[in-house]
């Protein structure tokens, strides 16, 4: 095999963004030009959201200043970080600041202004200093620090780990839906909707944002503040309140009049970067967008519906999942937005486990459940021998399964069971199943389950080699990450995608809420490279089959359309595709 495209460990976009955010924190504490601070944060966001690695762009001599929010200075800094692994400017800044000062910014109630004040007046340089000062009652002497703020800071120190926690989409969404259902029944409530990153279906969310349109006389806010399972009321107002639930989730509710609902929903759906871009565009037209509507001078000219905002610029409506300022606004202006995939486009599920390995239901039960969901086909993909913990199948049991599938296909109407397996990619890149079985399968779903800690080079070579196997169909959960639990393993995703493109392999978007792998950025990248994906649930039980919606949402965040996804194909077309892939 060839090593072409496999690179040595390199600076990731995450690292560059972290450096820029750290600079922003330090400048902020210094009281430097707030717009300069914002420029660093904007650039960090642009870099994090960019589908390609800055390291590669630098290598290719790409002009970084063409990226939004990256000018001459920041392009130079990115290049320096990529080339040297560090940034002299940050090193210098760090020298003039106590090393743990930024930690203080994470305490609720402490922003750059107050951190600066504490540093200057009380020489507080760390969390420890802050705790000592609190104990000694020194904070009372600082102007602007009253009893309530001090209590908030004390409280914040204790719970800061809790506050920093992010929740998976699948954890937050049911809670939000539960609250929406309650609030919709309150007197005077006309609309109640989920907003924020939850509405954009981000894989993890920091809190739950809700927006309600109510009549002037309503008891929506009162009910909100009296929901069961409230740990504490963080903030209470007539139009806006925040509660903290017992499970640690923070929930915001905004109550507005019906005529403002569209503007408010849009405002609190975000993303921030998306909204800022639209607001700037409004300003250029001599108008203003705020959370209450669209304004020309003092005159309100729209905002009842979200569509008003997009109509203002003659652009297409942008679905919440796309509102990340990753180029969607320009596309909407040109009326070139993709038609995002929907759950209804899905005709089958290509990653399903049964009792043959670590699944909980039989092949037949899974097939019948899939039929109830309206599918035409499923692929049964039990684990292979190497994966002992999942009771992987040896050759004998694999053969038995194939026979059972033949029998079931004879017996069942309206659903077709495809023969497959989730085949371990071994450390040397070989597939954990003899060719004699591979040949009998309609497709293979291949994945890494061991040796997650190989070097970037070895892990990438392992996968590239596996893809050379003519029986390789789909690369399952391509980065192996478990959200909040396990980092993705080190692979050169661009090299993997180039190989997938060259070999005609499919990449999976695994719909398990703790995987969602490919992520949004990788999905978009695959689409741009012309690689098709399979959105699959990796179901281990009957209920798991309904996780498809999480995969669909992630795909929509990656701008994926029906045509990009192979399991939107009708059965005959899909079978034809698999036959062609086998050559």
Partner DNA sequence: GCCGTTTTCGGCCCGACTGTTTTCAGTCG
Write out the residues near DNA by the rule CB under 7 A: 33, 35-36, 38-40, 42-43, 65, 67-75, 89, 105, 108-115, 143-150, 152, 196, 207, 209, 235-240, 250, 252, 268, 272, 275-276, 279-280, 282-284, 286, 288-292
> C-beta of 12: minimal distance to DNA in Å?
20
> What's the CA gap between 72 and 60, in Å, rounded?
17
Q: For DNA, give the closer residue by CB, 105 or 360.
A: 105
Q: For DNA, give the closer residue by CB, 113 or 374.
A: 113
**Phi and psi based region of residue 181 (left: phi greater than 0; alpha: psi -120 to 50; beta: remaining):** alpha
Residue 542 CA from chain centroid, whole number: 25
Cβ atoms 456, 9 nearer than 8 A:
yes
**Which residues on neighbouring strands pair with residue 378, listed in sequence order?**
349, 417
> C-beta of 480: minimal distance to DNA in Å?
31
Q: For DNA, give the closer residue by CB, 270 or 359.
A: 270
Q: For DNA, give the closer residue by CB, 297 or 583.
A: 297
Strands 474-475 and 445-447 turn out to be: parallel
Q: What residues contact residue 432 under an 8 Å CB cut-off, 6+ apart? A: 384, 385, 386, 387, 392, 423, 424, 425, 426
Q: For DNA, give the closer residue by CB, 35 or 60.
A: 35
Q: For DNA, give the closer residue by CB, 164 or 217.
A: 164
> What's the CA gap between 350 and 508, in Å, rounded?
9
Q: Show the tokens assigned to 108.
A: 């609720």
> C-beta of 216: minimal distance to DNA in Å?
15
Q: For DNA, give the closer residue by CB, 154 or 319.
A: 154
Q: For DNA, give the closer residue by CB, 29 or 445.
A: 29
> C-beta of 63: minimal distance to DNA in Å?
11
> C-beta of 340: minimal distance to DNA in Å?
25
Give the residue ranges of DSSP H helices in 69-195. 72-84, 88-95, 112-122, 127-135, 147-164, 169-184
Q: What are phi and psi of 190, to 5 degrees?
A: -105, -50
Cβ atoms 380, 444 nearer than 8 A:
no
Q: What are phi and psi of 204, to 5 degrees?
A: -135, 150
> What's the CA gap between 105 and 116, in Å, rounded?
10
Give the residue ranges of DSSP H helices in 211-271. 220-225, 261-269
């Amino acid at each position: 095999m060839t090593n072409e495209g496999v690179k040595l460990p390199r600076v990731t976009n995450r690292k560059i963004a972290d450096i820029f955010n750290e600079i922003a924190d330090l400048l902020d504490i210094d009281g430097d030009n707030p717009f300069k601070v914002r420029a660093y944060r904007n650039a960090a966001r642009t870099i994090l959201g960019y589908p390609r690695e800055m390291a590669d762009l630098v290598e290719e001599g790409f002009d970084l200043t063409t990226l939004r929010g990256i000018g001459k200075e920041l392009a130079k800094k990115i290049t320096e970080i990529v080339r040297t692994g560090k940034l002299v400017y940050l090193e210098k800044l760090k020298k003039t600041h106590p090393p743990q000062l930024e930690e203080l910014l994470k305490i609720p109630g402490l922003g750059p202004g107050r951190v600066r004040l504490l540093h200057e007046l009380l020489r507080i340089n760390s969390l420890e200093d802050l705790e000592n000062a609190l104990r000694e009652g020194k904070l009372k002497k600082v102007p602007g620090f009253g009893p309530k703020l001090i209590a908030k800071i004390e409280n914040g120190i204790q719970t800061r780990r809790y506050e920093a926690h992010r929740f998976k989409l699948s954890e937050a969404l049911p809670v939000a839906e539960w609250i929406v259902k309650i609030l919709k029944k309150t007197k005077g409530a006309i609309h109640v909707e989920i907003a924020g990153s939850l509405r954009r279906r981000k894989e993890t969310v920091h809190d739950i944002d809700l927006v309600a349109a109510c009549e002037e006389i309503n008891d929506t806010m009162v009910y909100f503040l009296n929901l069961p399972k409230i740990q504490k009321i963080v903030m209470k107002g007539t139009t806006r309140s925040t509660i903290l639930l017992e499970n640690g989730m923070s929930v915001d509710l905004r109550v507005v009049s019906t005529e403002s609902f569209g503007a408010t929903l849009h405002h609190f759906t975000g993303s921030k970067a998306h909204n800022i871009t639209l607001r700037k565009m409004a300003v250029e037209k001599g108008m203003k967008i705020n959370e209450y509507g669209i304004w020309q001078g003092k005159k309100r000219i729209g905002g009842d519906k979200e569509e008003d905002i997009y109509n203002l610029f003659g652009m297409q409506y942008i679905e919440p999942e796309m509102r990340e300022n990753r180029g969607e606004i320009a596309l909407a202006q040109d009326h070139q937005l993709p038609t995002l995939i929907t759950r209804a486009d899905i005709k089958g599920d290509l990653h399903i486990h049964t009792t043959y390995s670590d699944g909980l239901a039989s092949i037949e039960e899974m097939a019948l459940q899939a039929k109830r969901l309206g599918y035409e086909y499923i692929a049964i993909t039990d684990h292979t021998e190497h994966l002992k913990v999942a009771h992987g199948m040896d050759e004998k049991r694999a053969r038995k399964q194939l026979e059972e599938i033949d029998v079931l296909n004879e017996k069942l109407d309206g659903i077709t069971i495809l023969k497959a397996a989730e085949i371990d990619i071994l450390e040397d890149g070989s597939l954990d199943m003899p060719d004699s079985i591979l040949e009998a399968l309609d497709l293979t779903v291949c994945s890494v389950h061991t040796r997650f800690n190989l070097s970037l080079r070895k892990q990438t070579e392992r996968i590239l080699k596996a893809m050379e196997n003519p029986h390789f169909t789909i690369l399952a959960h391509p980065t192996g990450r478990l959200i909040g639990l396990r980092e993705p393993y080190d692979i050169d995703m661009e090299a993997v995608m180039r190989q997938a493109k060259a070999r005609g392999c499919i990449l999976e978007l695994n719909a398990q809420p703790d995987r969602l792998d490919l992520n949004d950025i990788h999905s978009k990248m695959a689409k741009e490279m012309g690689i098709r994906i399979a959105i699959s649930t990796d179901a281990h039980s009957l209920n798991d089959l309904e996780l498809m919606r999480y995969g669909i949402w992630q795909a929509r965040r990656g701008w994926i359309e029906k045509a990009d996804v192979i399991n939107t194909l009708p059965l005959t077309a899909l079978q034809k595709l698999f036959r062609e892939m086998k050559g």
